[in-house]
């Protein structure tokens, strides 16, 4: 017998059991004793048994493979989302094909086409910053192809979305800065093509208004690239040119907040005594900085897990996307650290 070619019948002969008993034991059917399951799985591993994925997919008209399209693999938040996705997918017998768009629409379209050619059963998507037209997704949704969007929710009727409460997270971050005595708070905003950017700016605006602080349009600075260099340059410019110098910065992402820290240090400002800084996402490095960076934590792993559960339930006909709740919103948590705590 060739390596990797063991079959259920081979295991049955080895244990002197029926093929049907072996099959049920491998699938953890309740009617099979724990001891039999243990023996079967032990022999299966010893004989290098692997389920015939091709035969299984032909029987069930599924490939047991899902696609995942994200903007960036190196992004800490998305790495935690992927962890949640793979945990659920693997536990339910699905493989995962991962692709990154690098925030490019063309790569996003190419990725979905490649995945479809590999006959995936469904796809999880966090679309790119460049994506303003969603025709490549709406065509698939109109044909009944399972798609679940996560983090970034598109303006598509009937789309299923899993996201965090970006509005509340930003409201909490801004209110925290106000509670620490900061009044002239700049928001380093994301690109307006993304709903998350719009919601985060709204949370910032309404926190100011609720606390009796007028929204100054000059204090809303868009950072379309979302890079450290960009935010450092824009914060330096704001500190040097705004007539009423800011005393705090709330960034739509943690990289932007780090750029703000660098710019404030270069300007000789003491953090948090003279200027407070808060980010969004709570990347792993936030607690490693000096001072440690306050940030709005997103439950990335939970987002990935819940999005995958919904997608697989749609694939397996346990959920109907036409009648189910279209948006699942997860809570954020403000992590208060030294970069913004005066008191």
> Is 50 exceeded by the pLDDT of residue 42?
yes
Start and end residues for every CATH 1.10.260.40 domain found in the chain? 8-51
Q: Which fold is adopted by the domain 166-297+334-340? A: Rossmann fold (3.40.50)
Question: pTM of the predicted model, to two decimals?
Answer: 0.78
**pLDDT score at 277:** 98
- pLDDT, tens digit (0-9, with 9 covering 90-100), for 173-182: 999 999 999 9
Look at residue 268 in the predicted model and tell me its pLDDT: 97
All CATH 3.40.50.2300 domain ranges of the chain, comma separated, are: 63-164+300-330, 166-297+334-340
pLDDT, tens digit, for every residue of 55-64? 554 455 678 9
State the average pLDDT over residues 328-332.
Answer: 97
Fold of 63-164+300-330: Rossmann fold (3.40.50)
Question: Between the ranges 151-155, 245-249, 325-329, where is the mean pLDDT highest?
Answer: 245-249
Residue 215 has pLDDT above 70, yes or no: yes
Instruction: Return all residues near 2 (Cβ < 8 A) that are at least 6 apart.
Output: none
User: Is a pLDDT exceeding 70 seen at residue 184?
Assistant: yes
Q: Which CATH number fits domain 8-51: 1.10.260.40, 3.40.1190.20, 3.90.650.10, 1.20.1740.10?
A: 1.10.260.40
Q: 227 CB contacts (<8 Å, ≥6 apart)?
A: 255, 259
Confidence category of residue 4, pLDDT binned at 50, 70, 90: very low
Question: How many CB atoms lie under 10 A from the CB of residue 243?
Answer: 5
End-to-end CA distance of the chain: 72
More confident residue, 235 or 72: 235
Q: Say whether the peptide bond before residue 291 is cis (omega within 30 degrees of 0).
A: yes
Contact predicate 81/73, CB 8 Å? no
Asked if 318 and 256 touch (Cβ cutoff 8 Å), the reply is: no
User: pLDDT grade, residue 82 (50/70/90)?
Assistant: very high
Of the listed ranges 45-59, 183-197, 261-275, 302-316, the one predicted with least confidence:
45-59
Enclosing H/E stretch for 99:
strand 95-100
Q: What is the pLDDT of residue 58?
A: 47
Q: Is the pLDDT of residue 257 over 60?
A: yes
Task: Give percent above pLDDT 90 in the chain.
Answer: 77
Q: What is the pLDDT of residue 160?
A: 96
**Per-residue model confidence (pLDDT) at position 80:** 93
Query: Mean pLDDT throughout 69-98?
Result: 92
Round to whole Å and give the CA distance between 279 and 223: 13
Statement: residue 52 has pLDDT above 70:
no
Mean pLDDT value across residues 66-88 = 92
Instruction: Give the DSSP letter string of 246-312.
Output: -SEEEESSHHHHHHHHHHHHHTT--TTTT-EEEEEE--GGGGGSSSPPEEEE--HHHHHHHHHHHHH
What span, in angstroms and rounded, lies between the C-alpha atoms of 304 and 149?
10
CA gap 174, 151 in Å, rounded: 21
CA triple 27-31-35, angle to 5 deg: 75
Between 170 and 24, residue with greater pLDDT: 170
Q: What is the mean pLDDT of residues 127-142?
A: 92
Instruction: Give, for 160, the enclosing helix (H) or strand (E).
Output: strand 160-164
Contacts of 245 (CB under 8 A, 6+ apart): 184, 239
Give me the pLDDT at residue 151, please: 95
Percent of the chain past pLDDT 70, that is, above it, reads: 95
Of 28 and 149, the structure prediction assigns the larger pLDDT to 149
When pLDDT is averaged across residues 66-83 and rounded to a whole number, the result is 91
């Amino acid at each position: 017998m060739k390596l990797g070619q063991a079959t259920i019948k081979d295991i049955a002969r080895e244990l002197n059991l029926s093929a049907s008993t072996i099959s049920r034991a491998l699938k953890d059917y309740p009617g099979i004793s724990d001891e039999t399951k243990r023996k079967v799985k032990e022999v299966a591993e010893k004989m290098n048994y692997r389920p015939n994925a091709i035969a299984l997919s032909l029987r069930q008209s599924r490939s047991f493979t899902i696609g995942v399209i994200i903007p960036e693999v190196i992004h800490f938040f998305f790495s935690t989302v992927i962890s949640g996705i793979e945990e659920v997918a693997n536990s339910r017998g699905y493989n995962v094909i991962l692709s990154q768009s690098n925030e490019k629409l063309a790569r996003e379209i190419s990725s979905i086409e490649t995945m479809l050619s590999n006959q995936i059963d469904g796809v999880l998507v966090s679309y790119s910053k460049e994506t303003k037209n969603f025709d490549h997704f709406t065509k698939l949704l109109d044909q009944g192809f399972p798609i679940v969007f996560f983090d970034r929710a598109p303006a598509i009727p009937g789309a299923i979305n899993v996201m965090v409460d970006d509005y509340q997270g930003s409201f909490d971050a801004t209110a925290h800065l106000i509670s620490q005595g900061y009044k002239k708070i700049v928001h380093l905003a994301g690109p307006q093509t993304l709903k998350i950017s719009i919601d985060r700016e709204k949370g910032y605006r309404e926190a100011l208004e609720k606390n009796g602080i007028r929204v100054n349009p000059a204090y809303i600075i868009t950072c379309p690239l979302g890079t450290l260099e960009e935010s450092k340059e824009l914060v330096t410019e704001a500190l040097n040119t705004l007539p009423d110098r800011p005393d705090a910065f709330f960034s739509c992402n943690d990289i932007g907040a780090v750029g703000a820290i660098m710019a404030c240090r270069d300007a000789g400002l003491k953090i948090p005594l003279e200027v407070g800084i808060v980010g969004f996402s709570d990347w792993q490095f936030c607690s490693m900085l000096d001072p440690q960076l306050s940030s709005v934590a997103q439950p990335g792993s939970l987002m990935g897990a819940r999005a995958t559960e919904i997608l697989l339930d749609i694939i397996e006909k346990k959920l109907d996307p036409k009648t189910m709740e279209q948006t699942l919103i997860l809570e954020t948590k403000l992590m208060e650290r030294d970069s913004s705590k005066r008191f």
